[in-house]
Amino acid sequence: MNRKFLIIGRSGQLAHELRRSLAPLAEIETADLPEFDLTDSDRIRAVLDAAAPDLVLNAAAYTDVDKAENDRDRAFAVNADGPGSLACACAARKIAFVHFSTDYVFDGLKREPYTETDPPGPLNLYGLSKLRGEENVLNECDGALVFRLAWLFSTRGNNFVHKVRSWAAKNAVIRVVDDQFGNPSWARIIAASVAVILAGSNNAPKTDLFEWARSVYGLYHLASSGSASRFDWAAEILRRTPVAQERQVRLERAKTIDFASAAARPAYSVLDCGKAERTFGICASDWRRHVSLALEE
Ligand SMILES: NC(=O)c1ccc[n+]([C@@H]2O[C@H](COP(=O)([O-])OP(=O)(O)OC[C@H]3O[C@@H](n4cnc5c(N)ncnc54)[C@H](OP(=O)(O)O)[C@@H]3O)[C@@H](O)[C@H]2O)c1
């Protein structure tokens, strides 16, 4: 193992799983707040020069979708400008760069899975800031891969799985919307897929990681297979949560309009991952299996 990877956003749910999945492939170094701020471009350059990694993975982001509506400058600094600076600094040093984006770049009006060539149309500032981030990264670095993810969950952090389980611990009835559709994706499986993709670089004709990244440069969708409404997803979580079964917690259907939220969300943001499957030979399995495996932990 003579490669070094730098993971930005150490304590986030995806970064945590990336550290675990990528450890067999390279020496891992991490950077996160407060000692590393993605919005500080001097610090970015200093950290890259000190660490001298072969690859940087940016799993840091401003991920509070509702808060971003009233915190535009910070959301854009972290999600758009920061990744652009990082990509630029990587390109200047010939460091391969992996960045993550979101299904919320889409407006949700399509009713079949979105491909990478579908035009984006974010409904909220988080989605717009992430879209600008993708564009900045791909403009700044010709050795960059951007993976759009969707409906990420893990057994850590304040994600939908955690929320449903804590609602179930306190309430007899839970109401969840059945008019938003996406791909629930376990962060561990996403990280494992990234590990498979990067391991593939070892077999590529170009052994230099930056040259390999140049050969596969671009935007990819990466998610578990199968789609679900938030209601379907909550039902599966409750089915796998013994305390909810014991307490016979009832799940009721609701509509997006029933709940006030600062940010609008796409009604449908299911991702078509065919391009990643064809390019890297990966094969995603069904989200229900991932919920079950995650909750067995
Ligand atoms: N969560 C989802 O449902 C979802 C869906 C689709 C795509 N994605 C994308 O997937 C990626 C990973 O998401 P995640 O859910 O793992 O995120 P997360 O758990 O919210 O973690 C994000 C990390 O970024 C750090 N961070 C925030 N601002 C920073 C800054 N200025 N400098 C350095 N670090 C900073 C956070 O630190 P603090 O905790 O201290 O703020 C946190 O450790 C992101 O690009 C996200 O947009 C997420």
d(CA 154, CA 163): 11
For ligand 1, say whether the CB of 21 is within 6 Å of any of its atoms.
Answer: no
d(CA 159, CA 161): 6
- What is the set of domains in the chain, with CATH numbers? 4-159+184-226+271-284 (3.40.50.720)
3-class SS letters over the chain: CCCEEEEECCCCHHHHHHHHHHCCCCEEEEECCCCCCCCCHHHHHHHHHHHCCCEEEECCCCCCHHHHCCCHHHHHHHHHHHHHHHHHHHHHHCCEEEEEEEHHHCCCCCCCCECCCCCCCCCCHHHHHHHHHHHHHHHHCCCEEEEEECCEECCCCCCHHHHHHHHHHHCCEEEEECCCEECCEEHHHHHHHHHHHHHHCCCCCCCCHHHHHHHCCEEEECCCECCEEHHHHHHHHHHCCHHHHHCCCEEEEECHHHCCCCCCCCCECCECCHHHHHHHCCCCCEHHHHHHHHHHC
Q: Average per-residue pLDDT in the chain?
A: 94
Interval 88-137: pLDDT, tens = 999 999 999 999 999 999 999 999 999 999 999 999 999 999 999 999 99
The atom number, within ligand 1, closest to the CA of 130 reads: 47
For ligand 1, say whether the CB of 32 is within 6 Å of any of its atoms.
Answer: yes
Range ranked top by mean pLDDT from 5-14, 94-103, 247-256: 94-103
CA–centroid distance, residue 247 to ligand 1 (Å): 33
The set of catalytic residues is 126
- Per DSSP bridges, beta strands 173-177 and 4-8 are unpaired
Q: What is the pLDDT of residue 64?
A: 95
For ligand 1, say whether the CB of 106 is within 6 Å of any of its atoms.
Answer: no
For ligand 1, say whether the CB of 11 is within 6 Å of any of its atoms.
Answer: yes
For ligand 1, say whether the CB of 60 is within 6 Å of any of its atoms.
Answer: yes
d(CA 183, CA 105): 14
- Atom 15, ligand 1: which residue's CA is nearest? 13
Residue of 62, 63, 104 with the most ligand 1 atoms within 8 Å of its CB, for mutation? 63
pLDDT reading at 271 higher than 80: yes
Contact call for residues 63 and 43 (beta carbons, < 8 A): no
Q: With cut-offs at 50, 70 and 90, classify the pLDDT of residue 246.
A: confident
For ligand 1, say whether the CB of 77 is within 6 Å of any of its atoms.
Answer: no
53 phi and psi, to 5 degrees?
-80, 165
76 phi and psi, to 5 degrees?
-70, -35
CA–centroid distance, residue 216 to ligand 1 (Å): 24
Q: What is the pLDDT of residue 52?
A: 95
Residue of 16, 33, 180 with the most ligand 1 atoms within 8 Å of its CB, for mutation? 33
The model's pTM is 0.96
100 phi and psi, to 5 degrees?
-120, 140
Percent of the chain with pLDDT over 70: 98
Cβ atoms within 10 Å of 278's Cβ, excluding its own:
9
Burial class (CB in 10 A: 0-12, 13-18, 19+), 205: exposed
Interval 66-83: pLDDT, tens = 999 999 999 999 999 999
Q: What is the pLDDT of residue 245?
A: 86
CA–centroid distance, residue 4 to ligand 1 (Å): 22
Rounded mean pLDDT of 33-52?
Answer: 93
